[in-house]
Structure 1
Amino acid sequence: MADDRFQSRFAADASLLPHMADLANDRILVALLGEADYRAASFLDQRLLTNRIGREWTGWTALPDLGPAAPRPDFIFHIGHVGSTLVSRLLAEVTGVLPLREPMLLRTLAQVAERIERPESLWSPELYRARLAQAVGWLGRGFAPGQRAMVKASSVITAIADDLTGPDGRALFLTVPLPRYIETILAGEASMAETQTQASARMARLARLLPDFPHALWQLPPVTRVAMSWLCEMASAQRALPPGDPRYLWVDFEAMLADPAAALAAQATHFGLPVDGARIHAALAGPIMRQYSKAPEHGYSPDLRRELQAQAAADHAPAIAEAIAWVEAIAARYKSLGDLPIHGDQEVRCSS
């Protein structure tokens, strides 16, 4: 009876977040959050687990499968460091959706997906598909009837984006032209360190996407590794979130900053959410646009972003040019990459 009561509550109560998975023991850590906790959190990962947050492990099979009728969340995917947290905060402010920023459970599912055809996989392909659908149902719950949930995934989740959105889902994909991406990463010590840490996994993913890939990570200098990261995430998105598919709205974040009100209205329309000009104006005039979205206690702005990019461009010009040329050579080699928007409004058309 107690288990039945818990399952009934879990099915309807977004305050019970399936936070992380322990695959070896087939269990889920369920954390207790209020709606304000969701809205404040920049990351629903291990940083969430302060002493204030109650949590308890429970067996995966003890949690209910909400079934195909469960509300599905909308998604924001991105290549990393391209304003996805800012967009999540703005859309939550403008439309009232429940934001879930980088839920840790999705990282585990992406890791399972990478190994699903290998002998060491803990799950069968059938179990992966069933549990991914189950997890999507969990993340779609709201705090009030009819409240929509919107998941801002981490950048590595793009590889399984098509599995998450399903045939009727809607998603944004945020990107920037390659030069702006490199400059943004170089402008921040933490972002550069993070990108270098993830370079090995991204190189492996890129090599799986591009047959007979002719490069090794050890051959690439640091700035070219940044460019490779952009290429990996763009190639993943082209496969999982094809830009011609009406379910997916590709957004150039640099262009969005030039007219954020129009961009927010278009994004809300894409998700079928109400467009309220007054709320958009209030959100853009408020503190969100003057804060660093991942750490709102620190100031940040589009103008400061541009200043830091310009400084990075000046400080690293030869290395940036070499990195862009490397990506252009890969784009020319692989027709499967289609038209990569390397320079934004100027597309590079791949040949043979």
Structure 2
Amino acid sequence: MADDPFQHRFAGDASLLPHMADLANDRVLIALLTEADYRAASFLDQRLLTDRIGREWMAWDALPDLGPAAPRPHHIFHIGHVGSTLVSRLLAETADVLPLREPMLLRTLAQVAERIDRPESVWSPDLYRQRLAQVSGWFGRGFAAGQVAMVKASSVITAIADDLTGADGRALFLYAPVARYIETILAGEASLAETLAQAPARMARLAALLPDLPFALWQLPPVTRVAMSWLCEMATAARTLPAADPRHLWVDFEAMLADPAASLTAQARHFGLAPDAARIETALAGPIMRQYSKAPEHGYSPDLRRQLQAQAAAEHAPAIAEAIAWVEALAARDKTVGDLPIHGG
């Protein structure tokens, strides 16, 4: 690596983001970002690639492996629509944190992992483990000494959370009680459409986690499919991020909104960030708490969130009650579900 100027630069330059992979041709798209780009981006996915962002495809094997001594990022995992982008933005204001929100390359790793034992897998299990460690090293780079990288993954990445965090990594897992989750999804037309589109994949994952699951997706009405999505992501996290492990901090986002300063302080301490009370107060008093975190040009607030949840609860009360009863019935017959914080806590 010392003889290759690009590899030497790549090893220490977070501006060179491995953005996405082309598995068929075994190459990676490198995008050129500033630190401000990272902080502004709600998603490091295809929406990032505007005309002003330089990028170039490179063979995967042309990129260096930074080795086990390289810093690894911390991680934020979640079930979706539970404030993970907001938390990422707040933590980035409270300490010297470089946020990486939903890097697209992690989706590739999750897709490979899903098929790793099947005949159609494009990578061997050994190559998967090697490249996962390689990607983790890439995402651990910062722009300055001492800067901590923090990856906010998309919800489907929780399926490989244990692979990503390794033996020493710390992770935050954000969730909400099933009723609040259902209300949040029903409060937004786009959220509901997205959740229903993802339902087949989540049902398949849930069936793998609960082999005796006595249902097929076609038997579930739409609101119960939303509850099933909550159950899938929660059961996945129970397997890959067990709450009893001190490396994993489970946070009920609805409870966080009741006392955001205390929760944010606890999260920062969990990540070893030595939180500054003044910076936390400033972050919470600033515009972040009044914006829709995924699209800051739009206003949003905890009060508006609760108003929309209450409206959805009133409009869909019978269907929500049926969906919650479906989850509770599964909890009564399966310990994996029964140990989940269905009603918060």
**TM value normalised by structure 1:** 0.97
Say whether 1:299 aligns with 2:299: yes
Distance in 2 separating the partners of 1:189 and 1:3: 54
Residues 291 and 298 in structure 2, CA contact (< 8 A), matched pair in contact too? yes
Q: Which moved more, 1:73-82 or 1:208-217?
A: 208-217
- 1:68-79 matches, within 5 Å, as 68-79=68-79
Residues 13 and 142 in structure 1, CA contact (< 8 A), matched pair in contact too? yes
**Cα displacement (A) at 1:96:** 2.1
CA deviation profile, 1:55-104 (whole Å, cap 9, x unmatched): 00000000000000010000000000000000000000111200000000
In the other structure, the counterpart of 1:275 is: 275
In the other structure, the counterpart of 1:58 is: 58
CA deviation profile, 1:225-264 (whole Å, cap 9, x unmatched): 0000000000000000000000000000000000000111
Query: Match of 1:337, SS?
Result: helix
**Cα displacement (A) at 1:338:** 4.6
CA deviation profile, 1:100-149 (whole Å, cap 9, x unmatched): 00000000100100000000000111110000000000000000012110
In the other structure, the counterpart of 2:252 is: 252
Opposite residue 36 of structure 1, the aligned amino acid is A
Residues 66 and 138 in structure 1, CA contact (< 8 A), matched pair in contact too? yes
**Cα displacement (A) at 1:212:** 2.6
Distance in 2 separating the partners of 1:128 and 1:331: 34
Residues 332 and 338 in structure 2, CA contact (< 8 A), matched pair in contact too? no
Residues 178 and 342 in structure 1, CA contact (< 8 A), matched pair in contact too? yes
In the other structure, the counterpart of 2:289 is: 289
- 1:174-193 matches, within 5 Å, as 174-193=174-193
- 1:16-165 matches, within 5 Å, as 16-165=16-165
Residues 238 and 337 in structure 1, CA contact (< 8 A), matched pair in contact too? no
Distance in 1 separating the partners of 2:338 and 2:126: 31
**Compared CA separation, residues 149 and 201, structure 1 to 2 (3 A):** same
Q: Which moved more, 1:94-103 or 1:336-345?
A: 336-345
Distance in 2 separating the partners of 1:214 and 1:50: 46
Query: Match of 1:24, SS?
Result: helix
Opposite residue 305 of structure 1, the aligned amino acid is R
- 1:147-226 matches, within 5 Å, as 147-226=147-226
**Compared CA separation, residues 162 and 45, structure 1 to 2 (3 A):** same
Distance in 2 separating the partners of 1:105 and 1:3: 27
Identity %: 83
Say whether 1:323 aligns with 2:289: no
Q: Give runs of ≥4 in structure 1 deviating > 6 Å.
A: none
**Cα displacement (A) at 1:336:** 2.9
Residues 242 and 248 in structure 2, CA contact (< 8 A), matched pair in contact too? yes
In the other structure, the counterpart of 2:228 is: 228
Distance in 2 separating the partners of 1:154 and 1:236: 13
Residues 74 and 149 in structure 1, CA contact (< 8 A), matched pair in contact too? yes
In the other structure, the counterpart of 2:4 is: 4
Query: Match of 2:24, SS?
Result: coil
Opposite residue 79 of structure 2, the aligned amino acid is I
In the other structure, the counterpart of 1:350 is: none
Distance in 2 separating the partners of 1:37 and 1:106: 19
**Cα displacement (A) at 1:214:** 1.3
Opposite residue 171 of structure 2, the aligned amino acid is A
**Compared CA separation, residues 291 and 3, structure 1 to 2 (3 A):** farther
Query: Match of 1:75, SS?
Result: strand
Distance in 2 separating the partners of 1:90 and 1:233: 24
**TM value normalised by structure 2:** 0.99
**Compared CA separation, residues 122 and 152, structure 1 to 2 (3 A):** same
Extract unaligned runs of 5+ from structure 1.
Answer: 346-352
Distance in 2 separating the partners of 1:320 and 1:175: 18
**Cα displacement (A) at 1:331:** 1.5
Residues 330 and 338 in structure 2, CA contact (< 8 A), matched pair in contact too? no
Extract unaligned runs of 5+ from structure 2.
Answer: none
**Compared CA separation, residues 29 and 76, structure 1 to 2 (3 A):** same
Distance in 1 separating the partners of 2:273 and 2:210: 37
